[in-house]
Amino acid sequence: MWHWIRMGLYVVLGICSIGYGRFVRSAGAGNTFYRIWFVLGLVLFGLAAAVYFRVWGRIPRGFRIAITELTVFGFAVYVALMARIASSFSADGGEPEYIIVLGAQMREDGPSVVLRYRLETATEYLKEHPQVLCVVSGGRGANESVSEAEGMRDYLVGQGIDAVRIILEDRSTDTSENLKNCLELLPSPDTSVGIITNNFHVFRSKGIAKKCGYKNVSAVPARSTPAYLLHNMTRETVGVLKDLIMGNMSLR
């Protein structure tokens, strides 16, 4: 009985994973990370087949133990990073002199959903704090008609923010470059800065900023779409691991 329950569970999870991947792909986020859900789905179908043909019992015991331990370790790391990312969803105070709005995809018809959330938060913050200056950061990708920085400036000006308060950083291609290049535009590394990005991106952004040399950095989190949160946070766990390995971020 347990044999069939396990096989059925793998099949159901595999279908859910591939279905979620199709759902994420339909959003047209501009990257291919959605493929991880298709890969996971195929792995789960493979596990279902292995259970059906009773393959697991034929594998040498030492290999079974190693596979199990690696799987448990990987899942534990994933859960721990997800929890750490989630712990940074709330604003952490601070009264910044500057805010930095990190870029995301700029489409032909305007900011993507992810970027629009960041810009809505920036607009609200700048209107409530008229003394604060804003750095918009992001270069032009291959699938973008203008740089992300230009598109963000135009959006903010359209919302009533004075253009003289907006500083453009339009050369960067990722978060690490965003923050390195923005630091050069600030009066000094001690300048108090608030980073505006989506809640799932706050933990990594602050870690990268500290590694870049920011001395006084806080977060002003923007919201995100709940239906895509699992996908975005999973992508962030990969990003955190990559940046830790490459020495791009600090956990302090």
Q: What is the pLDDT of residue 128?
A: 96
Q: Which of 15, 33, 13 is nearest to 24 (CA)?
A: 33
Residue 199, strand partner residues: none
Go through the chain and tell me how many residues it has.
Answer: 252
| Alpha carbon distance 82, 77 (integer Å) | 8
**Residue 108: predicted pLDDT:** 86
Model confidence pLDDT, tens digit, residues 28-71: 877 899 999 999 999 999 999 999 999 988 999 999 999 999 99
**Residue ranges per domain, the chain?**
2-86, 98-245
- The CA distance from 249 to 174, in Å, is 13
Percent of the chain with pLDDT over 70: 100
Alpha-carbon separation of residue 65 from 10, 78, 79, 157 (angstroms): 20, 20, 21, 59
Rounded-to-integer distance, Cα 221 and Cα 241, Å = 21
Which tokens belong to 166? 């907006």
**pLDDT at residue 153, as a whole number:** 98
Q: Which residue has the tokens 């159901």?
A: 12
Share of the chain above pLDDT 90, in %: 87
Report, at the CATH architecture level, how domain 98-245 is classified: 3-Layer(aba) Sandwich (3.40)
d(CA 118, CA 149): 12
> Is the per-residue pLDDT at 205 higher than 80?
yes
In this structure, of 137-141, 142-146, 208-212, the range with the lowest mean pLDDT score is: 142-146
Range of weakest confidence among 87-101, 216-230, 236-250: 87-101
Round to whole Å and give the CA distance between 94 and 97: 10
Q: How far is CA 126 from CA 119, 136, 138, 167, in A?
A: 10, 13, 19, 13
pTM of the entire predicted model: 0.91
Mean pLDDT across the chain: 94
- Residues 195-205, buried b or exposed e (16+ Cβ, 10 A)? bbbbbbbbbbb
| CA–CA gap between residue 168 and residue 195 (Å, rounded) | 15
Q: What pLDDT is recorded for position 1? A: 76
Give the pLDDT band of residue 144 (cuts 50, 70, 90). confident
